[in-house]
Amino acid sequence: MAAGSVAPIGAYPVVPQLPGMGRPVDTAAVAARRRALLKRIGSGTVLIPAGHERDIEQDYVQDNDFRQDNTFYYFTELETQDAVLLLTARGPDSLETVLFLPPRTPSQERWTGLRLGPDSVAVRLSGIATVLPLDSLDSRVHAARQPLYTPQGHGRGQRAADAASATLNVTPIVDSMRAVKDADEIARLRRAVDISVAGHVAAMRAARPGMYEYELEAALEAGFRRNGADRLGYPSIVGSGPNTTTLHYDVNRRRTENGDLVVIDAAAEWGQYTADVTRTFPVNGKFTPRQKAIYDLVLGAQQAAFDAVRPGITMRELDGIARRYMHEHSGNLCGERTCDDREYFNHGLGHPIGMDVHDVGISRPLEPGMVITLEPGIYLQAENLGVRIEDDVLVTAKGAEWLSAGAPRTTDAIERVMQGR
């Protein structure tokens, strides 16, 4: 996609909303994940509980009152609440999946809308042939093949699991599976990234000196939501002037001034997967020579890391490559020290993304199908000058693909978008 253009988000197929359960399930993808998990276990049972609705009075609700548990979502793609998934392996050719669902309650559905219940609709939508009422769970767990695995620290699953004899933690196995994304996950990430890019471009186009950071935040998040974001991937960071040097500044209340840089680190979540994108731009649409020099050094470091991405390399090695580039190209831009100094580039180069913004697998050598961020930065507090550029990158067999290249990344491309050209 050409720099500066916005992904044709409106052209995505319209997905019908299904009562009580969110989007359609890729039943083949989730079944393949369940088979892969059971093959890893060999023999035994896995109990995976769904998430529970947050309490609007007692919890701090930021967006809506339910987000599915990641492990349950990974193996079902269902957005239904208080369900439990029971997977059993009795050897490589005997794998069983049972979905337990709470009963439907018409009086509650007056408040919540339709919910999935233990009936043929659930069978059809989930692609799981055996769907049982939740009150039959305990007896099934007691009779389950040992050992019993559960994700660590889940309320309902933990209670049922505690009643059984041996309980092992399935999370490390699931995490190792989640590190490499399958085609369905990559499609979700691409969409989350495209939506995020649209929001960044909207914020750049809206920017004027004198705007408050929250006004930019509003333009950004309107761009996300207008393009179908489910929610924010994480609280939006919109820092101007001195706030550009605070890595996770998300107060977003300062009034911008002519000559400020603005760092926006923000992304949308779509279909449970989140992007993670940062752009830095001058609020008045024109970089000063000093801002451009620092920006171009960060950009060069990011490009050097991108050019080195290939299967087998580690995030730590990529971090070293970006720092070496900065070290060798700093000249006297950062004074007596070079710009790669931990005083100025004081965070890691990047991390995997997925259902969590800081997703699993950061220590693993890269493999095709992993999706990572590359996000070098230089933060000069004495000058109120911070620059971070963060893109999302898919590791391929031959190298890497920029996913977020639709958000203008060079100073020229940013100036063109901001000046409406």
| Residues binding Mn ion (CB under 5 A) | 265, 276, 373, 390
Residue 184 vs 390, nearer CB to ligand GLY: 390
Judge contact between 146 and 42, C-beta under 8 A: no
What is the side-by-side strand order in the sheet with 167-169?
130-133, 95-101, 84-90, 43-49, 148-150, 167-169
CB of 40 to Mn ion, least distance (A): 29
Dihedral, CA atoms, 217, 222, 225, 230, nearest 10 degrees?
Answer: 20
Q: Among Mn ion, ligand GLY, none, what binds residue 252 when CB lies within 5 to 8 Å by partner kind? A: none
CB of 225 to ligand GLY, least distance (A): 19
- Which residues is 131 bridged to in the sheet? 99
Instruction: Give the binding-site size for ligand GLY (rule: CB under 6 A).
Output: 6
234 contributes a contact to ligand GLY by CB under 6 A: yes
Residue 150 vs 236, nearer CB to ligand GLY: 236
Q: Among ligand GLY, Mn ion, none, what binds residue 234 when CB lies within 5 to 8 Å by partner kind? A: ligand GLY
Round to whole Å and give the CA distance between 415 and 261. 13
CB of 347 to Mn ion, least distance (A): 9
Interactions with ligand GLY, residue window 266-285 (CB under 6 A): 276
Q: What binding mask, one character per residue, do residues 385-404 give for ligand GLY by CB under 6 A, x or -?
A: -----x--------------
Residue 89 vs 315, nearer CB to Mn ion: 315
Q: Among ligand GLY, Mn ion, none, what binds residue 340 when CB lies within 5 to 8 Å by partner kind? A: none
For residue 43, give the 3-state DSSP assignment. strand
Q: Which residue is nearest to ligand GLY (CB)?
A: 265
Residue 41 vs 349, nearer CB to Mn ion: 349
Residue 264 in tokens: 């926006």
Round to whole Å and give the CA distance between 402 and 395. 9
Residue 110 vs 342, nearer CB to ligand GLY: 342
CB of 337 to Mn ion, least distance (A): 25
Which of 185, 217, 265, 392 forms a contact with ligand GLY (CB under 6 A)? 265
Round to whole Å and give the CA distance between 178 and 185. 9
Residue 168 in tokens: 């092992």
Residue 66 vs 234, nearer CB to ligand GLY: 234
Residue 154 in tokens: 């889940």
Judge contact between 389 and 296, C-beta under 8 A: no
Which distant-in-sequence residues (6+ apart) come within 8 Å of 104 by Cβ? 114, 115, 116, 117, 119
CB of 277 to Mn ion, least distance (A): 7
With CA atoms as reference, report the closest residue to 353 among 18, 34, 70, 49. 70
Element (H, E) at 28: helix 27-41
CB of 382 to Mn ion, least distance (A): 24
Residue 78 vs 232, nearer CB to Mn ion: 232
CB of 375 to Mn ion, least distance (A): 5
230 contributes a contact to ligand GLY by CB under 6 A: no
The residue written with tokens 């009086």 in the block is 107
Interactions with ligand GLY, residue window 343-372 (CB under 6 A): 357
Q: Taking the chain, what is the end-to-end CA distance rounded to the nearest angstrom?
A: 17
Q: In terms of DSSP bridges, do strands 277-282 and 261-266 run parallel, antiparallel, or are they unpaired?
A: antiparallel
CB of 335 to Mn ion, least distance (A): 27
Which of 375, 391, 392, 415 forms a contact with ligand GLY (CB under 6 A)? 375
Residues that bind ligand GLY (CB under 6 A): 234, 265, 276, 357, 375, 390
